[in-house]
Amino acid sequence: MAIVSLTGIIVTQSYWVRRAYSMQEKEFNDRVSIAMSSVVQRIMALNEDSSIVEPVEQVSSSFFVANINDTLHPYLLETLLREEFQASNLQEDFEYGIYDCFNDSIVFGGKVNFEDEIVHAEQADVSIQKKFDKDGHYFGIYFPSKTGIIVRQMDFWLFSSFVILVIVIFFAYTIYIILKQKRLSEVKTDFINNMTHELKTPISTIGVSAGVLLKDNIVEDPERLHRYAQIIENENNRLKTQVDKVLQLASLSPDKVDIKSERLDMQDIVSKACSTYGVKVGEKGGTLSMAQVSDPLMVRGDRVHITNIVYNLLDNACKYAEGAPAIDVSLTAQQGWVVLSVQDHGIGIDKKHQSNIFEKFYRVPTGNVHNVKGFGLGLYYVYTIVRAHQGKIELESTPGKGSTFKVFLKREQHEQ
Ligand code: ADP
C-alpha cells in the first residue's frame, strides 16, 4: 500500500512538474512574441509603413522570427529589442540575426548579454544560421539557454521534487531495514526454538535417569545403575558440546577476534582432527579419508580456533550426509595459500542459499522441521575465524551430490 501511494505521489508530482514547465514555457513564448511584435510595430512606425503583416512566428522551441518589410539597421534592432525585452521583464541573453531574402544570407548577427555590454559576434558565430523560405526581410531571435531560464523560474517545483525525492529515499531505506529486521527476528526465533529443543531434551533425559538412580533398590541392580549413569554421562556430554558451541560464538565479536599467532603445522592439526572424528564417522558406518602430503604446510594462527574450524566442517559434512557419510579431506599448497578441502557426498546446498549460510543463525530452510539439529552458528564461526586470519573460504555445492568447503590460509615459509 505504501509503495502504491508513494508511486502515486511520484506520478502526480511528475505530472504537475511537466504541466508547470509547459505553462512557464508558454508564458515565456507569449512574452517574447509580444515584445517582438512591439519591436516590429515600432520599426514600421519609424519607416512610416502601415501594411499589415503577420509579424512573429515561433519556428522552434527557442527560435522566433519576425517579418519586416524593409532593411533594418542592426543597432536600431538591438536597441529596440533590449527596450522591449526589458519592458516585458525578459532579461535573458539572446542571439539575433537579420536576414535578407534577396541574397539569402544573414546580413548581421549578434549576441546580447544583459549583464555585460553588447557583444557583437561574427556572423558565423551565431547559432541561427538557418534560413527560411521567406520573401522579404526578417529578423530572428534565438535563446540559447531557454530550458535553463524556464527551469530557474520553477524553483518551488524543484524544491518540492527534491523533498519528495528525499522522502522516497528514506522510505526505501526504511523498507529495507524493516525487511532486514523481519528476517533477523525470524532467524532468531528459529535459533531460540532450536536451542530450547537441544537443551531441553538432554535435561529431561538426565532428570528421568536421575529419578531412576534415586530409587532405593537400584543398588541391587548394578547393570541398570550403570546403564542410567552412562545415559547421564552421554547426555551431559551432549549438553556440554551444545553449550560450548554457543559459548564459542559468544566470545567472538565480528570486528575484533582475539587471535593468538603461532606457527602451526596444518598437517598435524587436520590429521589429529580426522583421526578423532573418524571414530564418530565409523560408528555411523561411514568413511573419512585424508590425503597425505609430504611437505610440511605451515600457517600462522590460533591453534584452538583453527582446530575448531576443522571440527565444524567435519561435523557439517557428517550431519548433512545422506545415509552413511563419506568425507574426503585434503591439504594442498596453492600460490602462497594452504588449502584445506573438506568434501562430502551429502545433501548439498542450493545455489540461492550458498551466499547466506555463512551468516549468523542462518540455516537452509527445509520447511518447519529440521531433521538435523543445529544453531546456524558453525559456518558463521568458521567464516569469522578465517577472516580474522586474513584467509578466505570457498564453497562448491550441488544439491543431491554434495559439497566441498575450501579454507585458504596464508602459508608460512620454512623457518630459516
Ligand atoms: P548448523 O548448526 O545448522 O549446521 P552451520 O552454520 O554449520 O549451522 O550451517 C548452516 C547451514 O548450512 C546448515 O543449516 C545447513 O543447512 C547448511 N550446511 C552446512 N554445511 C553443509 C554441508 N556440508 N552440506 C549441506 N548443507 C550444509
In the chain, where are the structural domains located? 2-152, 155-250, 262-415
Beta carbon of 379 within 6 Å of any ligand 1 atom:
yes
Query: What integer pLDDT is reported at residue 415 of this predicted model?
Result: 57
The rounded Å distance from CA 378 to ligand 1 centre is 7
Q: Is the CB of 344 under 6 A from ligand 1?
A: yes
In CATH terms, are 155-250 and 262-415 the same topology? no
CB 202 less than 6 A from any atom of ligand 1: no
Q: How far is the CA of 267 from the centre of ligand 1 (A)?
A: 25
Taken in order 44, 46, 47, 50, is the CA torsion positive or negative? positive
Going by alpha carbons, the residue nearest to atom 18 of ligand 1 is 316
Question: What pLDDT is stored for residue 129 in this prediction?
Answer: 47
Taking the centre of ligand 1 as the mean of its atom positions, its distance from the CA of residue 376, in whole angstroms, is 7
Q: Report DSSP state, residue 413.
A: P
In the prediction, which pLDDT does 338 show?
94
405 Cα to the center of ligand 1, angstroms: 11
Distance of CA 40 to the CA centre of its chain: 60
262 Cα to the center of ligand 1, angstroms: 29
Whether CATH 1.20.1440.80 fits 155-250: no
Report pLDDT for 105: 63
Ligand 1 binding pocket includes 375 (Cβ within 6 Å): yes
Residue 70's pLDDT is: 74
CA 353 to ligand 1 center in whole angstroms: 10
Instruction: Mark the ranges of the chain whose per-residue pLDDT is less than 50.
Output: 118-129, 131-132, 368-369, 416
Atom of ligand 1 nearest to the CA of 375: 2
What was the pLDDT predicted at 259?
82
Q: Cell triple for residue 285? A: 558406518
Whole-angstrom distance, CA of residue 114 vs CA of residue 117:
7
Q: Is 378 in the pocket of ligand 1 (CB under 6 A)?
A: yes
Q: Kindly report the CATH class assigned to 262-415.
A: alpha beta
Residue in 292, 310, 299, 294 with CA at minimum distance from that of residue 338: 299
Question: How far is residue 278's CA from residue 291's CA, in Å, rounded to a whole number?
Answer: 14
Q: Residue 95: helix, strand or coil by DSSP?
A: strand
